Structure 1
Amino acid sequence: GAENMISIGVATAAAGLIIGTVSLTGAHQVIGELVEVLSGGSLILMLLLVAVMCLILGMGLPTTANYIVVSSLMAPVIVSVGAQSGLIVPLIAVHLFVFYFGILADDTPPVGLAAFAAAAISQGDPIRTGLQGFAYDIRTAILPFIFIFNTDLLLIDVTVLQGVIIFIVAATAMMLFGAATQGFWIVKSRWWETATLLLIAFTLVRPGYWIDQIQEPWSSLAISEATLDQANLDGQVRLTIEGPDFDNPDQLTQLVLLIQADSTITLASALDQAGVLARAEQASILLDEPFPGTENFQTMQRFDFYGDTPVEITDIAMEQTHRLTKEWMYLPALFLLVIVGWSQRTRRSKEV
């Protein structure tokens, strides 16, 4: 046991050196700002940039050190940048996302430790082995995106039946994504079949996207004292908060919070229970610093509550509960899958 702990201790120490160096030099803030600027507010582009950076950071690191590095440096980027764009996901989903691509670095050239080990066994070229392995692995890269956009796959607050359905749908989406990227399913795919398979995979992964295009997921509420006193709200309330940055008071920062409202109490009371101290002044809703130990105390430490510019709520939106469920989009996806399957089976029967 002690001998095994030596390698883990060395790996952890090396990871600590990397994290300490990045933290002391302020590079972790630069990484977040770089991702934010390059993504331009696009969630997909932000996640792709984080994935690439995790591949770079994970190169040459053993599993334990790999997780420590990518989770410490890149997970906060997804949380902070994503929250500014309205993407709020469980922390476990964020950690699984960055860890997946960090581990993928094991066979990503030019380092690719696993590729060098495999090449030594097969007597092949390490770089070519790594490229081929990466080409195979990247076809399953849709899985971490499923963690982000369809958190039901993590089996949080789902029934057994829902869990079975989620597993089948996710496995089907990954299979179709792999078939599309390799250009072959039943037979060699035509261009429109490849595009259709990608569309089906996307629909299975994130069916809620199409529902959002049909029906708005949120309805905005007025920024007023009357809204704070409203007591007939039941469901999630999305708050967009804006105020001066604690580290740079001249710069405004933004945060999106989800608050659970209850129809038996006012919105102001629900905010108080969540540690958000709101008060109405004229046509604005201003916020005071939360009390230590409350739910959102740590989250809101990014704001400077004592500057000349107040911290305020710029948008209040109520979740639309009476709309189509996202599972309805599985039906058109299944219909398209039948069409592609029929087309390919017809060609296969002719070839035989």
Structure 2
Amino acid sequence: MSEKHTNEALSAVDAEDILRKYDKESDFRKLEGFWAKVVAAIAITFSVFQLYTAVFGVLDAMIQRSIHLAFGLCLIFLLYPARKSWPRDRIHPIDFITAIAGAAVPLYIVANYKTLVLRAGTVTTADFITGLIGVMLVLEAARRVVGLPIVTIAFLFIIYALAGPYIPGQLAHRGADLPTLVQHLFFTTEGIFGIPIGVSSTFIFLFILFGAYLEKTGMGQFFIDLANAIAGWASGGPAKVAVLSSGLMGTVSGSSVANVVGTGSFTIPMMKSLGYKPEFAGAVEATASTGGQLMPPIMGAAAFLMAEFTQIPYNKIILSAAIPALLYYFGVWTGVHLEAKRLGLKGLSRDELPKIKNIMMERGHLMFPLIAIVYLLVTGYTPMKAALYAIVFSIATAMLRKNTRISFSDIIAGLEQGARNALGVIAATACAGVIIGVVTLTGLGLKMGSSLVGLAGGNLFLTLFFTMITSIILGMGVPTTANYVITSTIAAPALLMLNVPVLAAHMFAFYFGIIADVTPPVALAAFAGAGIAKANPLKTGINAAKLAIAAFLVPYIFVYNPSLLLLNVHSTLDILWIIATSLIGIVAVSSSVSGFLIITQTIIERVIFFVGGILLVTPGLYTDVIGAGLLALGHFIQMTRVKKSKK
């Protein structure tokens, strides 16, 4: 990178401020001295416990999950102050008390496990008080780490559970008293200790620990340099670098906002220096970073939850998700390319860019752990074992070259960092467990599904549209793991009632929940990008939604034609045809949204390309033929205008 671009890059302090503003997971204390050592010891012990159970076998579900939550709550209350005004260099007495309670309350289950099992649902006064405190601690931990949106949703669900008989209409239910609700939420595997935190306590933690070690080896900078070498010289090069590097980072990142700040600190200033408007530069990074949550093999940890919820093998899920994710990034890439052509933007000079040969020679071995983990997952290893071996492999491969070698202290620091990075997921999955607990107790999922289908009159397209809106609303301001839990529980049942394949229904709801990160009015990833670009947040969000147009189309495609998810595949030719028509259709719609293809489009041309593109992405021979005809017409009109302009 040139000195000019380096000087324009976002400072670390600014990046941290922006991350703290839009991602609550960054709002932690920076302790020193005794308390720093205490927190480090707890975090390292937490990681060692997770590694131990991965090697020697997990404990009984409630015990494993209770210990996992105890570690998580304790660290959250020590690291995240209850109030922003409280000091960040020492621990407030109230936070110390809640940290002790956070560790003790889940361990109550471990200490009384046999007794609780024998009582089989009977709640004593001690159980009720402990469980009530536990639920309150989970909500408070989520508020501190994740933010108010998910806590507000969980609180509304609790009110719904208690007020069931007083709710009019189809959503009414017999209700539950407070002791019954607390018992269901805290002492069964249907609530807080349900599937989400179960997956967090096994697969997800190890993948986060794997990501921490990749970070120690310099994987993030490697991705940025590699993307620069591949695409930095092309038209609008820095924007394409943002798409590539953010997509690569998304394979191991669990946060759209953190991804925006991590790679956007370099790519957004480069885009602005090249000539992109600030709101477009911020939108590119936000859209590319958000797409990382849709990208296999991790999908922001949602892939593991999806495997548990749907009982579909994990390797089948990541294979099914691959083509839609690539179509999404193709759409973003197309939007970036068309904007660069419209503005006449060139790439960076090759002299300013790193050489791909040098990068691969010096740090190419850092790719080995990623290749290994994909291979292990696809060949049938459990996600937990694959992550465990990948952690060992990442440390081993880092030792191959001096410039990436990590010391013993780095290995210990990786254990601490992995535990810290997992806290957001723990808080989100535990809080999401409250929502799931209410759904299983009241049957709300089926009621919501019936309501959406009824509102749509049984029409599949209208049901998809209402499910899309519901998922976007539910996904606003909610992290990836909790996002999937909520949307799959509340929105997906409507599609299942209309015989949409299970994986397609879950993926549809998940896609639109994730796209909430770049869809105004609450578009956290776009707002973070705007903060870096010093742009108008709303304009950045609108630009991001335009760039993410493929994400609004692809889910409809795979619902109407599940072959895109590699389901019910009749032939390879069938898949290739769907991909080809979808790619052409996405280019057409992107050009219509941006208003440029060969030259600037007129209003009529934009309508022609938009309608033709939509018809092409809609499965069916007649729609493909009509769509292709419209695109041919639009292309002919554009070429005719180009020829006239040259005369």
Q: Distance in 1 between matches of 2:606 and 2:520?
A: 28
Q: How many residue pairs get matched? A: 228
- CA displacement 1:17-56 (0-9 Å, x = unmatched): 2333455455434432432333233322221111111011
Q: Distance in 2 between matches of 1:42 and 1:333?
A: 23
Q: Distance in 1 between matches of 2:452 and 2:476?
A: 20
Q: Which residue of 1 aligns with 2:508?
A: 97
The one-letter amino acid of 1:132's match is: N
1:336 to 614, 622, 630: 630
CA contact (8 A) 1:58 1:66 kept: yes
Q: Distance in 2 between matches of 1:207 and 1:109?
A: 29
Q: Distance in 2 between matches of 1:335 and 1:107?
A: 33
Q: Which residue of 2 aligns with 1:205?
A: 617
Q: Distance in 2 between matches of 1:130 and 1:175?
A: 21
Asked whether 1:14 is paired with 2:431, we answer yes
Find runs of 4+ consecutive structure 1 residues off by over 4 angstroms.
22-27
1:35 to 445, 449, 452: 452
Q: TM-score, normalised by structure 2?
A: 0.33
1:74 to 491, 507, 531: 491
- CA displacement 1:81-136 (0-9 Å, x = unmatched): xx2xxxx3322211221111100111233332212321221122333322332233
> For the structure 1 residues 131 and 25, does the alpha-carbon distance in structure 2 shift closer, same or farther, using more than 3 Å as the test?
farther
CA contact (8 A) 2:445 2:493 kept: no
Asked whether 1:128 is paired with 2:539, we answer yes
1:166 to 568, 573, 578: 578
Cα RMSD between the aligned structures? 2.5
Q: Which has the higher contact order (CA 8 A, sep 6+)?
A: 2
Partner-residue secondary structure (3-state), 1:141: helix
CA contact (8 A) 2:449 2:494 kept: yes
Q: How does 1:285-324 map to 2 (within 5 A)?
A: none
Q: Distance in 1 between matches of 2:474 and 2:426?
A: 19
- CA displacement 1:173-231 (0-9 Å, x = unmatched): 111122233443333334443343334333322343xxxxxxxxxxxxxxxxxxxxxxx
Q: Which residue of 2 aligns with 1:148?
A: 559
- CA displacement 1:292-333 (0-9 Å, x = unmatched): xxxxxxxxxxxxxxxxxxxxxxxxxxxxxxxxxx3x664444
Which residues of structure 1 form unaligned runs of 5+? 209-325
Which residues of structure 2 form unaligned runs of 5+? 1-208, 210-417
Q: How does 1:175-324 map to 2 (within 5 A)?
A: 175-208=587-620
The offset of 1:137, in angstroms, is: 2.0
The offset of 1:72, in angstroms, is: 1.6
Q: Which residue of 2 aligns with 1:111?
A: 522
Partner-residue secondary structure (3-state), 2:548: helix
Q: Distance in 2 between matches of 1:168 and 1:72?
A: 33
Question: Greater strand percent: which structure?
Answer: 1
CA contact (8 A) 2:616 2:628 kept: no
Partner-residue secondary structure (3-state), 1:174: helix
The offset of 1:158, in angstroms, is: 4.2
The one-letter amino acid of 1:345's match is: M
- CA displacement 1:255-277 (0-9 Å, x = unmatched): xxxxxxxxxxxxxxxxxxxxxxx
> For the structure 1 residues 336 and 125, does the alpha-carbon distance in structure 2 shift closer, same or farther, using more than 3 Å as the test?
closer
CA contact (8 A) 2:471 2:509 kept: yes
Q: TM-score, normalised by structure 1?
A: 0.58
> For the structure 1 residues 103 and 348, does the alpha-carbon distance in structure 2 shift closer, same or farther, using more than 3 Å as the test?
same
The offset of 1:172, in angstroms, is: 0.9
The one-letter amino acid of 1:119's match is: A
> For the structure 1 residues 25 and 351, does the alpha-carbon distance in structure 2 shift closer, same or farther, using more than 3 Å as the test?
farther
> For the structure 1 residues 28 and 195, does the alpha-carbon distance in structure 2 shift closer, same or farther, using more than 3 Å as the test?
same
CA contact (8 A) 1:183 1:194 kept: yes
Q: Distance in 2 between matches of 1:189 and 1:131?
A: 20
Q: Distance in 1 between matches of 2:594 and 2:540?
A: 18
